[in-house]
Amino acid sequence: MRLFWHQRDLRTRDVVGLSVAARDDTVLPVYVYDADAFGPVGRRHYGFQMRGVRALKERYRELGSDLIVRSGDTATELASLADAVDADAVYYGEHYRPSRRDRQQAVEEQFAGTDVDTEPRTDLVLVDPGRLDASYSTHSQFYGDWERSPKATPYAEPDPDALASVDDGTTVPVPNVDIDLPDAGSAAARERFDEFLDTGIYSYNDTRDDLARAVETPTQAVSRLSPYLAAGMIGIREVWAGASDRYDAVYGRERKNINKYRYELSWREHNYHLLAHNPGLGERNYTTFPNEIAWRDDEAGFEAWTRGETGYPLVDAGMRQLEAEGYIHNRPRQVVASFLTKHLLVDWRRGARQFLEKLVDHDYASNYGNWQWTASTGTDSVDVRIFDPVSQMAKYDAEATYVKSYVPELRDVTADAIVDWPTLTDAKRADLAPDYPDPIVGRNHGYERAQRVFEEALGKR
C-alpha cells in the first residue's frame, strides 16, 4: 500500500506522483487539513480550495475509493495513517512556497530512518527548476532555456482497481465567502479550458488585451483558468498538451495566437523557478539596489487604492473588479500594481498582501513574482518601468467599456472624458461626475517622483 498526499493538486488526472504510485501498487489518497497552511491565505482562495477538496473526494468516490481527510499536524497525521494501513511509501508533488516546503521537510524528517519511503515528484511545472540555471536576470534569458527543455506529457488518472477500496465519512468544511466563486473541481476546470480551446485560443494574441472583449466575453478573450491552475484543479501538462495539439493542427495567424498562450504559461513557469531558487521572493527585493528605495508611508493613498477611489478610472475599475470578483484581468492587474508602487510609491509587499487577501487565483509564486516585476525590484529588463494609467486606458479601453462596467459614477460620461479624467480641470470633473473622486496624485508628478526615487535607489543620481 502507498499513500498519495494531496496538497495543492486537487485532481485525479495528470498528477505525476499519484499516477506513478498507482502503476504497481494500491494507493490510498489523503488530504490533511492543517490550519497553519491556510493562516496567511485569503478567505476567498481558501474557500475555493476547500470546495476543490470536496469535489476531489466526490471524484474518488465515483472511482470506488475515497479521499481520506484528516486534520492536524501533517507529518503526524501521515505517520499515523501510514502506520494504520501498513503503507511502505508516501508519494507527493513538490511545492515551493516556503510554508509548504517546511511542511514537506517535516514529513521527510518524520519518515527518515523508518521503513516508509518518501517519494516527492515534480508536478507543478513543465520543466523542473533544477534542470535550469539558478539565476536569470530577465524573462527572455529564462525563456530561451525553458523553451528548449523537453516538456512532460499528461499523466493518466489511475486505474480504479489501483485505488484502495475505502470509505471515509469526514465532511469537508467549506467556509462562506463574500463573493460568488467559480465552480470548483477538475470537471469545472476542464470545462472552462475546453470552452477556451474551442472559442478563444485561436484569437488569444489578438484579443487578450482588449478590455471591451474581456467584459463582453470574459472566458473567450482570455482563458480565466488561473483559479484552477492556482488550486491545482487542472494539471499544467494537460494545459500545455491541449494548447499544443491545437497549435500543431493549424498554420499562420491562428498558430501565432496559440503560441502566445503557450508563451504566457512560461511566465508562470518562470515565477515558480524564481521561487524555487529564491524562497525569500515574497519578502525581499529580488534585485539588489545600492541604495534603499524611498517607499512612502501613504496610508490614505493605500486606502483609496484598495477602495478603487484614486480618481484614475482604469486603476479604480481594476480594484473594484478585484473586490467584486476576486479576479483582475492581467492588463489592469499590471496597471493597478504599477500605480501603487510607482505613482504612490507604496512598498510592493503591501500591495501583494492586499491581492493575497482578495484573489481567488492567489498563487504565491505568481503573485510575488509579478509584484516584484511590476515594482522594478524583480526580473524586468527595463530598470524603471512606469505604466501611465491614462495612456494604458486610451490604448486598451478606449470606449471605456471595462471602466464603465465597474465604475457606475462614470456611466454617463463620454469615453474621451473618462480617458482624460486625471488631466481635466476640477470644475470640469465636478460638472461631469460629481460623485467620482479627483485624482489623488498628479499624473506627471507621480511619474516623475517615481522615476527620481528609483534612479536614486539605483545610484544613477
State the residues that interact with ligand FAD by CB under 6 A. Answer: 208, 222-226, 229-230, 264-265, 267-268, 271, 330, 333-334, 337, 355, 359, 361-363, 366-367, 370-371, 374
| Comparison of 227 and 301: residue with beta carbon closer to ligand FAD | 227
| Comparison of 333 and 404: residue with beta carbon closer to ligand FAD | 333
| Comparison of 78 and 124: residue with beta carbon closer to ligand FAD | 124
Separation between Cα atoms, residue 315 and residue 3, nearest integer Å: 47
Nearest approach in angstroms of CB 371 to ligand FAD is: 5
| Comparison of 158 and 318: residue with beta carbon closer to ligand FAD | 318
Separation between Cα atoms, residue 295 and residue 456, nearest integer Å: 12
Cβ count near 23 (within 10 Å): 10
| Comparison of 223 and 376: residue with beta carbon closer to ligand FAD | 223
Long-range contacts of 164-171 (CB under 8 A, 24+ apart): 164/1, 164/26, 164/27, 164/28, 164/29, 164/65, 164/85, 165/64, 165/65, 166/28, 166/65, 166/66, 166/68, 167/66, 168/57, 168/66, 168/67, 168/68, 168/69, 170/68, 170/69, 170/70
Which three three-digit cell numbers place residue 293? Answer: 528605495
Nearest approach in angstroms of CB 117 to ligand FAD is: 32
| Comparison of 65 and 223: residue with beta carbon closer to ligand FAD | 223
Nearest approach in angstroms of CB 217 to ligand FAD is: 12
| Comparison of 367 and 379: residue with beta carbon closer to ligand FAD | 367
Helix (H, G, I), strand (E, B) or coil at 29: strand
| Comparison of 106 and 151: residue with beta carbon closer to ligand FAD | 151
Separation between Cα atoms, residue 392 and residue 337, nearest integer Å: 13
Nearest approach in angstroms of CB 11 to ligand FAD is: 15
Nearest approach in angstroms of CB 355 to ligand FAD is: 6
Nearest approach in angstroms of CB 170 to ligand FAD is: 29
DSSP state of 342: I
Q: Angle at Cα 452 formed by Cα 448 and Cα 456, nearest 5°?
A: 170
Cβ count near 425 (within 10 Å): 8
Candidates 119, 61, 53, 107; CA nearest to 81 is 107
In Å, how far from its chain's centre is CA 201?
A: 19
Nearest approach in angstroms of CB 251 to ligand FAD is: 22
The answer to whether 12 and 238 are in contact (CB under 8 A) is no
| Comparison of 60 and 339: residue with beta carbon closer to ligand FAD | 339
The answer to whether 395 and 331 are in contact (CB under 8 A) is no
Which residues, in sequence order, are bridge partners of residue 27? 2, 163
Separation between Cα atoms, residue 418 and residue 406, nearest integer Å: 13
Query: Which ranges of 70-210 does DSSP label H, i.e. alpha helix?
Result: 74-85, 98-111, 139-148, 186-199, 204-207
Q: Angle at Cα 316 formed by Cα 313 and Cα 322, nearest 5°?
A: 140
Separation between Cα atoms, residue 97 and residue 269, nearest integer Å: 14
Nearest approach in angstroms of CB 429 to ligand FAD is: 28
Nearest approach in angstroms of CB 242 to ligand FAD is: 12
Sheet holding 89-93, edge to edge: 68-71, 27-33, 2-6, 89-93, 117-121
| Comparison of 349 and 429: residue with beta carbon closer to ligand FAD | 349
| Comparison of 222 and 304: residue with beta carbon closer to ligand FAD | 222
Nearest approach in angstroms of CB 84 to ligand FAD is: 37
Nearest approach in angstroms of CB 82 to ligand FAD is: 33
Separation between Cα atoms, residue 314 and residue 320, nearest integer Å: 10
| Comparison of 351 and 446: residue with beta carbon closer to ligand FAD | 351
Nearest approach in angstroms of CB 51 to ligand FAD is: 18
